[in-house]
Amino acid sequence: MFDKLQTLESRYDELMSLLSDGVAQSDPNRYRTHSKALSEIQPIVEKFRDYKTVVAEITETREIADGSDAELQELAEQELAELETRRGDLLSEIRILLVPKDPNDDKNIVLEIRAGTGGDEAGLFAGDLFRMYTRFAERRHWKVDVLSINESGVGAIKEVIALIEGARVYSQLKYESGVHRVQRVPATEASGRIHTSTATVAVLPEAEEVDIAVDAKDLRIDTFCSSGPGGQSVNTTYSAVRITHLPTGLVVSQQDEKSQIKNKAKAMKVLRSRLYEMELQRRHDEIAQDRKSQVGTGERSEKIRTYNFPQNRVTDHRIGFTTHRLTEMLNGDLAEMSGTLTTHYRAEALKDAEAVTGAD
């Protein structure tokens, strides 16, 4: 770990020198690149330098504590205890800062919600989840753009796909992927029997062309007339688009816009994000196979969370966290759940980082 910190400190000094150079200042792109690199390592280097200062103070104070002056010894022992505590705190902060950052954290997301088992109640639950994420986005001042939606009644949704844009969207919603389960008494249930239904949520980091290359020859693009509920015609022009990615068999349809060009652009966003997720999952599986363990895979088949209405309870089964704020969560207050999940998985990542660095 300390070898890595020394390397980062050397790189920090190098970047500071480059930024003060006239050549870099005259080249906006180079200056921006160096500034970004500097800002990424600066917090770690500053903590490391604080750590080295404290270590030096500990050495000096220990010499005084080992001296012959009894009065100074007592003062030195007290100061030594404080410095050792500070040293431990700085070391913990440095370890956290060294945890590799998820490169997707700053990305926008493509959110996909589908009704699962449970008939009409599953559709209503899918609608509840979509409103929950929409209200959470409103609280964060994010933009929600519905790419496609298939409604099955008042408040019920068979499937909805939306693009959510804003600051660090993926970092706050990436742990929502999986099967969500609801336990409640449907409005149509006369006997008051509790029903269990499910909906699936997929959170895909938005992929740009630089993230995933899609060859035109690998696509089959079909156009057709848009249609509404019950097969009714929405328009008579071939504005709807269906894109099939031949190598993987992925199919994306888009018909919400009246323009074929706009529908194609939206469909490509979804397709590119799904392909990107497949690549991320492939890499994750390779790493997991090497380690022979998986933490928080987020596979769709896993039941990740239960919303129990009679008890006003929400339980996340992956981390064993329970809160009795179901109503507040469905109204968009996801801060507690999101923060708890982030803390848990960050701690897991820290353990992995310590194992790699051999930190004690």
Task: Say yes or no: 306 and 263 in one domain.
Answer: yes
pLDDT value of residue 292? 37
Task: Say yes or no: 21 and 80 in one domain.
Answer: yes
Residue 200 lies in a domain: yes
Would you say residue 288 has pLDDT above 90?
no
pLDDT value of residue 287? 47
pLDDT value of residue 175? 94
Residue 18 lies in a domain: yes
Higher pLDDT, 64 or 227: 64
* Per-chain mean pLDDT for the chain: 83
Residue 89 lies in a domain: yes
Residue 261 lies in a domain: yes
Task: Say yes or no: 177 and 48 in one domain.
Answer: no
Task: Say yes or no: 16 and 80 in one domain.
Answer: yes
Residues 253-263 have pLDDT tens digits of 888 777 888 88
Task: Say yes or no: 56 and 173 in one domain.
Answer: no
Domain boundary among 68, 97, 126: 97
pLDDT value of residue 281? 79
Task: Say yes or no: 115 and 93 in one domain.
Answer: no
pLDDT value of residue 210? 58
Residue 104 lies in a domain: no
Residues 322-346 have pLDDT tens digits of 999 999 999 999 999 998 998 888 8
Residue 357 lies in a domain: no
CA 219 to chain centre: 29
pLDDT value of residue 297? 36
What's the domain range around 49? Answer: 2-97
Domain boundary among 64, 97, 130: 97
pLDDT value of residue 211? 67
CATH number at residue 242: 3.30.70.1660
pLDDT value of residue 289? 56
Task: Say yes or no: 241 and 121 in one domain.
Answer: yes
- Domains of the chain: total: 2
Would you say residue 299 has pLDDT above 50?
no
Residues 168-221 have pLDDT tens digits of 899 999 999 999 999 999 876 767 789 999 999 999 888 776 567 788 888 898
Give the C-alpha separation, 299 to 338, whole Å. 18
Task: Say yes or no: 284 and 260 in one domain.
Answer: yes
Task: Say yes or no: 168 and 47 in one domain.
Answer: no
Give the C-alpha separation, 141 to 160, whole Å. 21
Domain boundary among 71, 97, 123: 97
Residue 169 lies in a domain: yes
Give the C-alpha separation, 94 to 233, whole Å. 61
Would you say residue 229 has pLDDT above 50?
no
Residues 81-115 have pLDDT tens digits of 899 999 988 888 888 777 777 888 888 999 999 99
Task: Say yes or no: 85 and 172 in one domain.
Answer: no
Please, which pLDDT band fits residue 290 given cuts at 50, 70 and 90? very low
Task: Say yes or no: 269 and 125 in one domain.
Answer: yes
Task: Say yes or no: 174 and 321 in one domain.
Answer: yes
- For residues 175 and 299, the answer to whether their CB atoms sit within 8 Å is no
Residue 119 lies in a domain: yes
Most distant CA pair in the chain, distance: 97
